[in-house]
Chains A and B, each alone.
Chain A
Amino acid sequence: MRIIVCIKQVFDPLTPVNALTIDSDRKKILGSAYTPPVINGYDEQALEAALRIKENWPGGECEIVALSLGERFKLDVMKKALAVGADELVLVDDAAFDTADSVFIARALAAAIHRLGGADLVLCGRQASDWDNAQAPLLLGEMLGWPCLTLARRVEVRNGRVEVERVLSDGSQVMESNLPAVVTVTSELGELRFPPARARLQVARRRPKEMTLKELNVEIGSPAAEVIDVSLLKVERECQYIGGANGAEAGRRLAETLIDAGLISPNGG
């Protein structure tokens, strides 16, 4: 069993808007220089899904490869994948990957997966928090010609098949397919486990495997959908603080303020 987990380095999605900037071309959002980048949250959860499959794999013969396309990688950030238990980390570093063009990213992922000798299962986060595109895994499935199962809160592999429980807005749905397959993971699956201290020390000496865009042999064409401008959305409202001698008094005053302003009605109106 071979699982490839696609992980992306992104600026911390909890960076306050006021600390974000836009590049001089007005085409990219830059994270704050003071906040280190992170592995995209949903990708961490995809990694957690892979680790759970490996834990329950009979005989333990299950390999997890974490694959990332990006640029200016922070090794200590990306090596977290190794510290939690991925067997290998593969980084493809190129400025071309700093793009909102999901088609190009999916092409490069497909090529990298082939070059790595293929996989039985590719796990991805449901979307990346920088562009919120939620497209690359779907397009990857299309390009590989593999089944694609999305929004999994549970992923199980048995007898050459993968079964997922996917989250829907009004409940859930169990779906399955043959392997190989692409599966996207959602936050309901649970957080990535914390790496043991010992593992964090051990990975300090390990090197990721490196590949180049050239080796992947994919062309950078003009994107079907092209970002031509980006601007930050700063919202500031004047907040009227309601206080009191204690929390209870503030709570009572808040209710009265909202009722008097006609915003809420105490009899369900």
Chain B
Amino acid sequence: MAGILIFAETDAGAILPNFWEQVAAARTLAPQLGSVSVAALGWQIKTDEALRSGAEAVYVLEDERLTEPWPDAHLSALESLCHELHPAMIVMPRTTLGMEVAARLAFRLGGALAQDAMTLQLADDALTITRPVAGGAASATVRLNRAPWIVVPRSGAFTPAEPGAEASAKVVSVQPSISDAALKTRCVSRARQEGETISLERARVIISGGRGLDGPEPFQLLHRIADAIGGAVGASRPPCDSGWVPTSYQIGLTGKMVSPEVYIAVGISGATQHTTGCSSARTIVAINTDKDAPIFRMATYGVVGDWKEVLPAFHAALADRG
């Protein structure tokens, strides 16, 4: 076993932005593990970016069955490729598909899984990683006793690498081997949410609402404020579970990991499973009626008060100064 393989997930042929964090994570161990290659799985893949990642080779696995995030199909294709390449480490994206395929691939290859890795350290033939556990309340150091090591970097832990000027990688087209027996599940249909105006992952300012908003309507006000300051709207889990906002709004352990300059939490108590997804924000602002809410312990600015009074005035003050 040698070298590092990066699984580049695609959507509508485009490689997901997580890829550049995976490249950054791979580079930290490339001096010890050898060459970095990329496996791009999908259909009608645009490879140009991956070619500029500094990787030695980009394996392109195209099959119509790799269009949807179908775990069985991706797992089958990736597993056969790994049996040919024997990578020592495989770097997966922290996505629904990536995390699921990672766990099953580690089992099939007889290796070990490191999910949500914040740091990677290789010593005495073992990979040791650190990762948040218990919703972000604790950090665990995990030693991977068996290779290959399947690693899922935590979002935000590795500064995304930049595409290089030169498309230096060689392209290797591989007919993906997806056996019918491997496809135990079937895709019936797919529904996509309407595109958000500003992506949460890239927003400079995020204003999020929680259960304290008590319904879908107050999110309108959050949207008006976000529009005024050029930000995006997010949510804690309860508004998503209750259908007040789409699930794509959810921030936290099982939602999106964001790192804006400013994060404004309205009617959010500050459970670790939520704050683990926004704790890297430079400034956290909390608006909550409960002065003992844990969110104030991580906030830079806080207002102990009812959003029904605080937010309209906040919005009006923006207009006055705008």
Q: A81–B104 Cα gap in the complex (Å)?
A: 29
The 8 A CB mask of B130-151 against A (1 = contact, 0 = none) is 0011111111111111100000
Q: Which residues of B contact A233 (CB under 8 A)?
A: 132, 136-139
Pick from B133, B145, B227, B230: contact of A269, CB below 8 A.
B230
Q: A228-B128, A228-B142 are in contact. Are A248 and B248 (CB under 8 A)?
A: no
Determine if A138 and B100 form an interchain contact, defined as CB atoms under 8 angstroms apart: yes
**A14 contacts the other chain (CB 8 A):** yes
- A20-B137 contact in complex given A171-B192, A259-B321, C-beta closer than 8 Å: yes
The stretch among A51-59, A202-210, A218-226 that forms the contact with chain B is A218-226
Among candidates A231, A236, A239, residue contacting B302 with C-beta atoms closer than 8 Å: A239
Q: How far is the CA of A255 from the CA of B100 in the complex (A)?
A: 42
Prevailing SS type, chain B contact patch? mixed
When chains A and B are docked, how far (Å) is the Cα of A93 from the Cα of B196? 48
Is B248's CB under 8 angstroms from A266's CB? no
Instruction: Tell me how far the C-beta of B218 lies from the nearest C-beta in chain A, rounded to whole angstroms.
Output: 14
> Given A251-B310, A252-B316, A232–B137 Cβ distance below 8 Å?
yes
B111's nearest neighbour on chain A, judged by CB, is A224
- Contact yes or no, A248 B310, CB < 8 A: yes
Complexed CA–CA distance, A208 and B244 (Å): 39
Q: Is the CB of A242 within 8 A of B303?
A: yes
User: Do B301 and A230 have beta carbons less than 8 Å apart?
Assistant: no
- Whether B279 lies near A235 (C-beta < 8 A) is yes
Cβ-based interface call for A199 (8 A)? no
A151 proximity list for chain B (CB < 8 A):
96
A25-54 residues with Cβ-Cβ distance < 8 A to B are 29
Closest B residue to A133 using CB positions: B115
- The stretch of B33-41, B51-59, B165-173, B179-187 in contact with A is B179-187
Residue in A22, A225, A246 whose Cβ sees the most chain B Cβ within 10 Å: A225
Interface centre among A103, A246, A266 (most CB of B within 10 A): A266
Which one, A15, A239, A255, contacts B300 given CB within 8 A? A239
CB–CB B262/A264 < 8 A: yes
- A187–B230 alpha-carbon span in the complex (Å): 31
Total interface residues on B, CB under 8 Å, equals 99
Are the CB atoms of A248 and B113 closer together than 8 Å? no
**Residue B163 lies at the interface, judged by CB distance under 8 Å to chain A:** no
Bound-state CA distance A168–B254 (Å) is 11
A57 to B137, CA, bound (A): 41
Scoring A14, A29, A171, A263 by chain B CB atoms within 10 A of each residue's CB, the highest score goes to A263
Contacts of B296 in A (CB 8 A): 239
CB distance from B6 to the nearest CB of A (A): 20
Q: Among the interface residues A16, A134, A236, A258, which one has the most CB atoms of the partner chain B within 10 A?
A: A258
Decide if A168 touches B134 in the complex (CB within 8 Å).
no
Min distance, Cβ B150 to any Cβ of chain A, angstroms: 10
Residues of B within 8 A of A13 (CB): 134-135, 271-273
Q: How many residues of A contact B (CB 8 A)?
A: 88
Q: Do B318 and A224 touch across chains, with their CB atoms under 8 A apart?
A: no
Inter-chain contact A138/B104, CB cutoff 8 Å: yes
Decide: B99 and A134 in contact? CB cutoff 8 A. Answer: yes
Q: Does B174 belong to the interface (CB within 8 Å)? A: no
Task: Produce 1/0 per residue, A80-94, CB < 8 A to B.
Answer: 000000000000000
Known: A235-B279, A236-B297. A139 touches B107 (CB 8 A): yes
Confirm or deny: B191 has a beta carbon within 8 angstroms of a beta carbon on chain A.
yes
Whole-angstrom CA separation of A249 from B247 in the bound complex: 33
Which of A139, A171, A236, A264 is within 8 Å of B104, CB to CB?
A139
Q: Which of A170, A243, A250 has the largest number of chain B CB atoms within 10 A? A: A170
Asked, given contacts A135-B103, A224-B111, A248-B313, whether A237 binds B299 with beta carbons under 8 Å apart, the answer is yes
The interface residues of chain B lying within 8 Å CB-to-CB of A130 are 133-134
A231 to B139, CA, bound (A): 5
Distance in Å: Cβ of A16 to nearest Cβ of chain B: 6
Contact A126 B317 (CB under 8 A): no
- Enumerate chain A residues within 8 angstroms of B106, measured Cβ to Cβ: 224
Residue among B139, B231, B247, B261 with most chain A CB within 10 A: B247
Please tell me if A215 contacts chain B, counting CB pairs below 8 Å: no
B301: chain A residues within 8 A (beta carbon) = 239-242, 254, 257-258
- B291's nearest neighbour on chain A, judged by CB, is A241
Shortest Cβ distance from residue A265 to the other chain B in the assembled complex, whole angstroms: 6
Partner of B185, one of A171, A177, A190: A177
Q: Which residues of A contact B (CB under 8 A)?
A: 13-17, 20, 22, 29, 100, 102-103, 126-127, 129-135, 138-139, 141-142, 146-151, 163, 167-178, 186-188, 190, 222-233, 235-243, 246-252, 254-259, 263-269
Q: Which 7 A-B pairs have the closest CB atoms?
A: A247-B309, A251-B313, A147-B184, A255-B317, A251-B310, A266-B322, A268-B230
Known: A13-B272, A175-B187, A177-B184. 4 other contacts (CB 8 A): A186-B254, A237-B297, A243-B303, A250-B310
Instruction: Report which B residues bind A (CB closer than 8 A).
Output: 68-72, 95-96, 99-100, 103-104, 106-108, 111-116, 128, 132-146, 184-193, 205, 227-231, 237, 240-241, 247-248, 253-256, 261-262, 271-273, 275, 279, 283-287, 294, 296-306, 308-319, 321-322
A-B contact pairs, 22 of them (CB 8 A): A13-B271, A20-B138, A135-B115, A138-B103, A169-B255, A172-B191, A173-B187, A176-B186, A229-B141, A230-B139, A236-B298, A240-B302, A241-B301, A243-B303, A248-B310, A251-B312, A251-B317, A252-B317, A263-B283, A264-B231, A268-B229, A269-B230
